[in-house]
Amino acid sequence: MRLKTLPENPGFTLIEILVVVSIIGLLASIAMVGLRNARTRALTTRVSADLVQIQKQIDVTRLRRNATVLQITGSGCSDCASRNTKVISNFANMATLQSSWRQLGFVDSPMDPWGTPYLIDENELEAGPSDCRYDSVWSAGPNGINNAGGADDVQTNITHFVCPN
């Protein structure tokens, strides 16, 4: 019986190592895409939870002051000056936003997870007693551009205060 002898230089070839490294790189890139999507979904879920808390604070302030959001802030459209622009870079609108949020009982403009202030549009009774549009609060989303409910914006309508729901 003859024993099999080992080659003089047992090991991997350069080609084998490159194949393994490229497979690991491919799997890592697939995993990173999945993690990025999961992170975006988690931040969007956080925004939804924030919007619920903001709506509760607004409800408390409206009941305490017995007034609509428009009557409290006096603005009519706190976010209008930043429409279709990057919110954080529109400093002219920041003062109006901060003032509106303070009037609603907030210390400062609440910020979304992407570092942009939440936006508010005061619509109920804006054009008179028969105007029953909803007030709305939203985040400009990951891109920070206020598209008034655009593709990546996360928005909620605030329940009516005077108008029937």
Which residue in the block uniquely carries the two structure tokens 């019986």? 1
- With contact defined as beta carbons under 8 Å apart, do 120 and 139 qualify? no
Can you give the pLDDT at residue 53? 93
Domain boundaries in the chain?
Answer: 51-158
Residue 161 DSSP code? S
pTM: 0.74
Can you give the pLDDT at residue 163? 85
- With contact defined as beta carbons under 8 Å apart, do 67 and 153 qualify? no
Residue count (the chain): 165
Rounded Cα gap, residues 50 and 110, in angstroms? 9
Can you give the pLDDT at residue 165? 64
- With contact defined as beta carbons under 8 Å apart, do 98 and 159 qualify? no
Check pLDDT > 70 for residue 5: no
Topology given in CATH for the domain delimited by 51-158? Glycoprotein, Type 4 Pilin (3.30.700)
The pLDDT tens digits of the residues spanning 19-76 come to: 999 999 999 998 888 888 888 889 989 999 999 999 999 999 999 999 999 888 888 7
Mean pLDDT for the stretch of residues 95-113: 88
